[in-house]
Amino acid sequence: MSDKQALLRRLPSVDSLLAQRAVHELTQIYGRGLVVEALRAQLADTRRELLESQRTDFRESALIDSIEQSLRRRHKTTLSPVINATGVIIHTNLGRALLSVSAQGAMASAARAYNTLEFDLETGARGSRLIHAARILRDLTGAEDALVVNNNASALILILSALAKGREVVISRGQLVEIGGGFRIPAIMRESGAALVEVGTTNRTRIDDYAEALNERSAMILRAHASNFKQIGFVQQPALTELTALARARGVLAVDDLGSGALIDTAPFGLDHEPTVQESVAAGADLVCFSGDKLLGGPQAGIIVGSASALAKLKSHPLARALRVDKLTYAAMIATLEHYRRGDALEQIPVWRMIACSLGDIRAQAESWSAQVGGSVISGESAVGGGSLPGTALPTALLAIDCASPQRALEQLRRADPPVIARIAENRVLLDPRTVLPEQEADLLQALQSIN
């Protein structure tokens, strides 16, 4: 028997490997089927290598290591937590708004136990899920009624399908926006069967432009907030009160797509004023729609508030069923809204806590990082993000790290556990403490120590 054959005979069997503790632990993570498959593939590879190369030995521990690595590579989860050191508070690619502790708890309770999602405790009969967040939304916004759907894009689709199908919707040319990820207002309108009537010019639209376009086929005037860009210079848009007065006089609806939809004024934080939901309701809009996971700071959802008669039509449309949200979303939404009612949103809702965080606190944080891992502290800007407040930023302090290749450092940070997402400017890696959670700091510093 040749040496090679003797060597091959010493290769362990699948069964003997399965009996090893390290491999047994892998079966508890990945299941026996996947582990057996990986063992067979690895043994076949090793056998081929031994036959074809000059190798005269193998180590069983190395074999097990490579099985573990290949399992980890092939079956790593695609949705996992990261450390957001970009300073972009509502980062759409990183999951937008984080939830408050009480919203997290409300989701866990709703997940654990049966609940009254569609059950009326008074009568013991079937109830409606559509009531859940409605009362608190009415209280907070002053609107007559409210409805929660899957996201703000769904809200628009439902509004246009239920109230403007086969009819005309008048919108300013300056508001035919693409929101991101290819989501364009004109495309949505086409899909819902509403005919788009563009008025005005890119930079200026007057109330008379709207008035001239309205006719017996018109269903509504739609205003869409230019959430991700800013027009400056020779620009003009009528005030919402002018639009709602015109709509009322001509018997059409006035609908305001606020995009982010703040319930709290952003101006006291040195930001531009983001229009609030309360302002749009007070201005007389029949319907106002906005996202749940942008400045509201809650779960992904689209919220529609407005007149009881318009909302009744939305609720009874077949699409309302297709676009409805589940119990987890309701639970998180109500818990988030309760912060606004109690008046503790700035402390408890992460989006607002990050917006309100003082520059002094952020600088102290950056300096403490710098003392531990090096780098210098520089002034910079954080962004609110999420298609809100374009062109305005929050002054921040950044940890700036010089490295031979910032690109490579960014890659190394992304490979850390948990991954760290940072940015580069002027050939340095920049880390913004504003969006890093206190409990993530130790991991962040460890990841920073390993870059070069």
Ligand X SMILES: *Cc1c(COP(=O)(O)O)cnc(C)c1O
List residues binding ligand X (CB under 6 A).
151-153, 179, 224-225, 227, 257, 259-260, 291, 302, 387
Residue 255 or 398: the one with the smaller Cβ distance to ligand X is 255
Least Å distance between CB 323 and ligand X?
A: 11
Closest residue to bound ligand X by CB: 259
* The Cα angle at residue 268 between residues 347 and 421, in degrees rounded to 5: 60
Least Å distance between CB 84 and ligand X?
A: 18
Residue 181 or 343: the one with the smaller Cβ distance to ligand X is 181
- 6: how many CB neighbours lie within 10 A of its CB? 9
Chain-centroid distance, C-alpha 233: 32
Least Å distance between CB 160 and ligand X?
A: 12
Residue 38 or 305: the one with the smaller Cβ distance to ligand X is 305
Strand extents, DSSP E, 287-427: 287-291, 302-306, 376-385, 394-402, 420-421, 423-425
Least Å distance between CB 222 and ligand X?
A: 11
Instruction: Residue 152: name the closest of 207, 97, 195 by CA.
Output: 97
Least Å distance between CB 289 and ligand X?
A: 8
Q: What is the rounded radius of gyration, in angstroms, for the C-alpha atoms of the chain?
A: 28
Residue 151 or 365: the one with the smaller Cβ distance to ligand X is 151
- Spatial distance between the Cα atoms of 367 and 394, rounded to a whole number of angstroms: 18
Residue 276 or 291: the one with the smaller Cβ distance to ligand X is 291
Supply 309's token pair. 């008669």
**Residues 369-394 as b or e (16 or more Cβ within 10 Å = b):** bbeebebebeebebbbbbbbbbebeb
Report the sign of the C-alpha dihedral through residues 349, 352, 356, 359, in that order.
positive
Least Å distance between CB 141 and ligand X?
A: 17
Residue 202 or 379: the one with the smaller Cβ distance to ligand X is 202
